[in-house]
Each structure stands twice: as C-alpha cells, then as structure tokens.
A and B are shown apart, each in its own frame.
Chain A
Amino acid sequence: MNPNAEKIKSKCYWEVLIRPREFTAQKIANRHVLARIVRGAAVSYQVRFPHINEGEPIENRDDWVGQFFDRGEYLELWRAYLSGQFYDLSANHTDWGYRYMLSPFARLEEDEPFIGVGYALFRFTLALEFAARLAFTDMGDDDMHVEVKVGNLQQHRLVADDPNRADFMDQPTAGLNEFIYARDLSRAELAANPRDLALQAATQFFKTFDKELSEELLKGWQEQWLRR
C-alpha cells in the first residue's frame, strides 16, 4: 500500500470517493485542468474540503494530480483523476491528538478514541456538498457514484461534541470496525439537497453505534457546525 495511505489508515480514517458511474479514461483531456476544477469545487467552512495546500506544489502524474499533507493532527491525501474520479483519505483528527470542546457529560478515559456527533455530521456534509459541486464540473456526469467510508472504527465512542448539549450521555461504542455509505445519485439528486443526503448518511453511521438520533436534532447540530 502507498506509505502515506498506510499511515492514515493505521488509525481511524475517512475515505471519500466521488466519480461518474461510467468510466472514460480521458474524460478530462489535460491533467493541469484537474487542480483548477478541484479548487473551484472545494467546500469551505471552518476548513476546506479537500484541503489544498497552496504553499506546496501539486503532484502531477500520468493520469492524476493530488497532494498529501501531514501536519501532525491533520493528515489528508487527495487525488483527482483524468477519468473524473476523486479520492480523499483523511485521518480522524482526534485519533492524532486534536482536541476540542465536548459536552461536560462526555466522560472519556484519557486517550480513549472517540468520534463526535457534530464532527461526523460535518465530515459527511463536506463530502456530499463537495460531490454536489463536483458533479457540475467537467469531472462530473449526469450519473454519479459517491462513497464515504469510515475505517478502523472499533473501540471508538460516540460523544456529544458540544459543551452546551447533553443530548445523550451513554457514549456508545462502535459495534463495527467500518462503515460504508455508497450511493448512485443523479446530478440533480446531489444538487437538490446535499445536506439532507449527509444527514441520511450520518443517521446510518450513528446506527453503527446502535444509536438512533432524530433528524430534527441532527439538522440543528449540522447547522451549528456549519456556522462555526
């Protein structure tokens, strides 16, 4: 395996795959266009997805462009292919030492791995919003395929990551080691409401923790994270 991917996958990770359903090797004629497309479609809230480091050159290969970052807590690798395929592999930040305010009811042991509800919602929203934007570029198509995989989940606890919330206190542990959301979506479906698609994906994801969270609750949480 690629050593950078292997490093990211050595702990919990988020893998996003967005592509047209039909393969055309040279959908984009020139790979130098790829970086421009990705930059234009990138979603920007408190972070940018995908993260493009403008201070570093973009790696160019025969049929893809991409970057890899390693900033300690922040690891991400992305590639955009001439076929229109986009791949992003990011570390689950808290597994690498990133800390932020959690609910006072989130009683975790030191170094106990966890995933925050808001954080997970945010990750799904970034992926689906980016997919919606990418679908309308030359990399996109009428029929798209979107996958979001969360790997190495085992032993992670689900916590409320908002100091003002006490929505649940039992902090369930992931029952499966990986979760995969994979959907074939039309460009129109993606564009119509990527945030709702992200909510649906996140709702499925939380079931991995045997947790049913109401759509209303999650919608509010999602909006709160996107406003940050």
Chain B
Amino acid sequence: MNDEQFAGFIELGHELRGVEFKPPGLRTHRDLMAWVTRAALGMANHRDGGIIIIGVDESSGTPKPIGLTEDELATWTFDNVAATLAACSDPTISFEREIRTYQTKPYVVLTVHEFAELPILAKKDVPGEHKQIIRGGACYVRSLGKPETSEIPSQDEMRDLLDLAIQKGIRKFVERAVGAGLILYRPSVGQPTSEAAFLRQLGDLR
C-alpha cells in the first residue's frame, strides 16, 4: 500500500469489512491494545485478512483522521505488537506493520493475514476498563451486517468461516496424500476448465 492508497481508505469516511479504524494512543494503553487485538482476531478469520488503521478517532461516529504523536508512534513497533498478539491468539496471528502518512501525520497500519490452517481463537480473557473486550476461547469474525469485529453473530458468519477452514483442510490433505503417494496426481487435459482457471486467477478481486 502506498500513501495515496492509504489516503483513499481514510477519505472513504467509513470502515469496510476488511478495514477497521482505531483511535490514536500508546500501544501500552490497555484498552486500545485490547481493541486492536480483537480487531486483528477478527481480520485473521476473514477471507483475505484485512487492515487495521491506528490513528483515526471514531468516538463521534464519523471517522476523524488524527494521526499519532511521535511518542505514540514509537510504541507501535512490530515486536511489541507481535508479542501482544501472540499472547492473545491461538494459533498466532500473522501480520505486517507499516507506517503511512496522511496530511503530514503518521498512522500505523497493521495488515493482518488470513489464518493459515485453523481459525484463530482468543487465548485468554482481556478485560477493559469498563467491560471485557476479549473473551478467552472465543472466535472473533468480521460480521456480514456491518463492518465490525464480534464473536460469531449468526450462522452465516459461521458458515463462511467453516468453508474457509474446510478449503484449507482439503488442500492440506491433498498435498499430504500426493506427497505420501496415496493419490497419484496426473493433470488431465482441460481440467480445471479454462473458465475456472481464469476465475481462480482473479482470487480476491471477485
């Protein structure tokens, strides 16, 4: 992502299923880090993952881009964030961290990758100042209704997650079975069909 693309997300003025805003602050601020972790848990269980932008205040209902101070920015190192996410997720969340600038202010962008094999679960309770933010053992997802992270709210989100996990499980099984010689793989002419092959190439665009 470059700064121009980043500006596009900020100026959109609302979150998307794959994009979540979080307000500015120190990573050591307990509630803020807990909400970021919760968002990362949801993004990791979302097809193609998603991004979390830290530095956008949403308390008024309309996203307000504020950016981070130098002191705040210094706390959002990859190692610090990775340590917190690892302590709260099982399996561990895979992500990248970058700093983007919008109207001279810096923002932290966490690009969270879709889970590799098994859906990510919260490893422990994380209480907030006023309410519990993360519940140990819970499975967080991006809800279909509106762009937010929540525990699985309906059968639709559960089905999406199961589909994703089953696809990965089947792929892994086939890889192992081929490797062990249980399945003899011989590509046949015309399989998959051209249409399917072209469609698969488009991946997360459609």
**Chain A interface residues (CB < 8 Å from chain B):** 1-7, 10, 19, 21-23, 25, 56, 63-64, 68-72, 75, 77, 79, 81, 83, 85, 87, 89
Contacts and interface: CB of A to CB of B under 8 A. Distances in A.
Given A70-B5, A72-B11, A21 B194 contact: yes
Interface string B124-150: 000000000000000000000000000
Contacts of B193: 23
A19 B198 contact: yes
A81 B204 contact: no
A214 to B, nearest CB: 34
Main secondary structure of the interface of B (DSSP, over half): helix
Interface string B1-39: 010110111011000111100000000000000000000
Interface of B: 2, 4-5, 7-9, 11-12, 16-19, 47-48, 50-51, 193-195, 197-198, 201-206
Contacts of A85: 198, 201-202
Given A3-B16, A23-B198, A75 B8 contact: yes
A76 B193 CA distance: 29
B185 to A, nearest CB: 16
20 contacts: A1-B204, A2-B18, A2-B48, A2-B203, A2-B204, A3-B51, A5-B205, A7-B9, A10-B12, A10-B16, A19-B198, A23-B193, A23-B197, A25-B197, A63-B201, A70-B7, A70-B11, A77-B205, A85-B201, A89-B205
A19 B108 CA distance: 38
Given A23-B197, A25-B197, A87-B202, A6 B18 contact: yes
Nearest to B197: A23
A3 B201 contact: no
Contacts of A89: 205
A101 B5 CA distance: 29
Nearest to A57: B2
B205 A70 contact: no
Given A6-B17, A56-B4, A72-B11, A1 B198 contact: no
Given A63-B201, A68-B5, A75-B8, A7 B16 contact: yes
Interface hub of B12, B50, B194 (most chain A Cβ within 10 A): B194
B12 A7 contact: yes
Nearest to A70: B8
A51 B194 CA distance: 27
Nearest to B47: A1
Contact of A3 (B4, B9, B11): B9
Nearest to A82: B201
Nearest to A15: B206
Given A70-B5, A75-B8, A6 B16 contact: yes
